[in-house]
Chains A and B, each alone.
Chain A
Amino acid sequence: MAINTPINSFIFGFYVLLSSLILYFDIAHNKFEKVKNSYNAVVISSNYIIDKNLESISFFYKSFQNNQSLLRENQNLSYQLDQLKVENFLLKNFDMYFNDFYKKDMLETFSSVSNRVYISKIASFDTDNYFCCTNHELILNNFEGIPKDLIANRPVISKSGIVGQAYDVINDSIKVILLSDARHITPLKSGDFFCNAKGVGRPNLLSCSLNTLIHQNKLEIGDLFYTSGMGGVFPVNILIGELVAINKVDDNEYLLEIYLYQSVINENVLGILIDE
Chain B
Amino acid sequence: MNNIGYLRIFFIILVTLFFENILSALFLKFNFYIPFTFLVFSYIHYKKTNGISATGSFFIGILVDLISQNPFGLNALMFCLMALIISYYKNIFKLFSYFQICIFFSLSATFYVGFTNLISNIGIFSYTNLFSSLLASFILCISLSFINLYNPRIKNRLGIRD
Residues of chain A touching chain B, judged by Cβ–Cβ distance below 8 Å, are 2-5, 7-9, 11-16, 18-27, 32, 35-36, 39
A-facing residues in B77-98 (Cβ within 8 Å): 77, 80-81, 83-84, 87-92, 94-95
Residue in contact with A19 in the complex, picked from B61, B91, B95, CB distance below 8 Å: B61
B92 adjacent to A4 (CB under 8 Å)? yes
**Interface readout for B63-74 with A: 1 if CB under 8 Å, 0 if not?**
000110101111
B55 adjacent to A15 (CB under 8 Å)? yes
Q: Which A residues lie within 8 Å of B73 (CB)? A: 18-24, 26
Q: Which A residues lie within 8 Å of B77 (CB)? A: 16, 19-20, 23
Asked if B37 is an interface residue, CB under 8 A from chain A, the answer is no
CA distance A18 to B80 in the complex (A): 10
B119 adjacent to A27 (CB under 8 Å)? yes
A16 adjacent to B74 (CB under 8 Å)? no
Going nearest first, the 3 A-B pairs with the smallest beta carbon separation are A22-B73, A23-B73, A19-B77
Q: Which B-chain residue is minimally distant from A40 (CB atoms)?
A: B69
Q: Which A residues lie within 8 Å of B74 (CB)? A: 19, 23
Residue in contact with A5 in the complex, picked from B62, B67, B91, B95, CB distance below 8 Å: B91
Q: Which B residues lie within 8 Å of A23 (CB)? A: 71-74, 76-77, 119
Residues of chain B touching chain A, judged by Cβ–Cβ distance below 8 Å, are 53-55, 57-58, 61-62, 66-67, 69, 71-74, 76-77, 80-81, 83-84, 87-92, 94-95, 119
Besides A14-B54, A15-B80, A23-B73, 17 other A-B contacts (C-beta < 8 A):
A5-B89, A12-B80, A15-B54, A15-B58, A16-B77, A16-B80, A18-B58, A18-B73, A19-B74, A19-B76, A19-B80, A21-B73, A23-B71, A23-B77, A26-B73, A35-B66, A36-B69
CA distance A102 to B119 in the complex (A): 92
A-B contact pairs, 20 of them (CB 8 A): A4-B91, A5-B90, A7-B84, A9-B84, A11-B53, A11-B55, A14-B54, A15-B80, A16-B77, A16-B81, A16-B84, A19-B77, A22-B73, A23-B71, A23-B76, A24-B73, A27-B119, A32-B72, A35-B72, A39-B66
CA distance A206 to B8 in the complex (A): 88
CA distance A21 to B87 in the complex (A): 23
CA distance A2 to B92 in the complex (A): 6
Give chain A nearest CB distance to B31 CB in angstroms. Answer: 25
B80 adjacent to A4 (CB under 8 Å)? no
Residue in contact with A26 in the complex, picked from B54, B72, B80, B94, CB distance below 8 Å: B72
Residue in contact with B76 in the complex, picked from A3, A11, A22, CB distance below 8 Å: A22
B71 adjacent to A27 (CB under 8 Å)? yes
CA distance A39 to B76 in the complex (A): 17
Quick one: given A12-B84, A16-B77, A23-B73, are A4 and B89 in contact (CB under 8 Å)? yes
Give chain B nearest CB distance to A15 CB in angstroms. Answer: 4
Give chain B nearest CB distance to A128 CB in angstroms. Answer: 67
